[in-house]
Amino acid sequence: MPSGREKRFVALAVLILFLFSCFTFWSITDHRSLLSRLEKAQDELSVSIGREAKQQSEYDEALSELPVVREKIGEISPLAEKAESAVSELKELRKQLRQEKKRLEKLLLQPDGQAEEEQ
């Protein structure tokens, strides 16, 4: 029959093995969790790198087209200024025509005697 000292030793050994098993289980699950977070971070990083490359290529393309766009703007600007001045002239003419229309309407609505006096 085992003595009290042997029982304590067996109990201590079982306790140590249990604690070691718990630590091993915890470390394995924690390791897997870290690995999954690392994989997720790597995926996000690769997506981010892809986006950056796409944005850089779009920027480079826009930058290469800039001289052509500036040239087109140079060609269009005089036309736009002419069109703007034509619009201003037409608005002024429209304003004058409205005033003339009001004057003529007033003349038509006045009795005949007054209309002849004003002319």
pLDDT value of residue 100: 94
What is the pLDDT at residue 112? 66
Between CA 48 and CA 57 the distance in angstroms is: 14
Q: In the prediction, which pLDDT does 33 show? A: 93
The residue whose two tokens read 């718990």 is 22
On the CB side of 86, CA atoms within 13 Å amount to 6
Report, in angstroms and rounded to the nearest whole number, the Rg of the chain calculated over CA atoms.
46
- Rounded average pLDDT per 10-residue block, the chain, 119 residues: 84 95 94 94 95 95 92 90 94 96 89 57
Residue 113: what pLDDT?
A: 55
pTM: 0.46
pLDDT at 4: 82
Given this model, what pLDDT does residue 34 score?
Answer: 93
Predicted pLDDT of residue 111: 72
Nearest-angstrom CA–CA distance, 102 and 100: 5
Per-residue pLDDT, 26: 93
Span between the terminal Cα atoms of the chain, in Å: 145
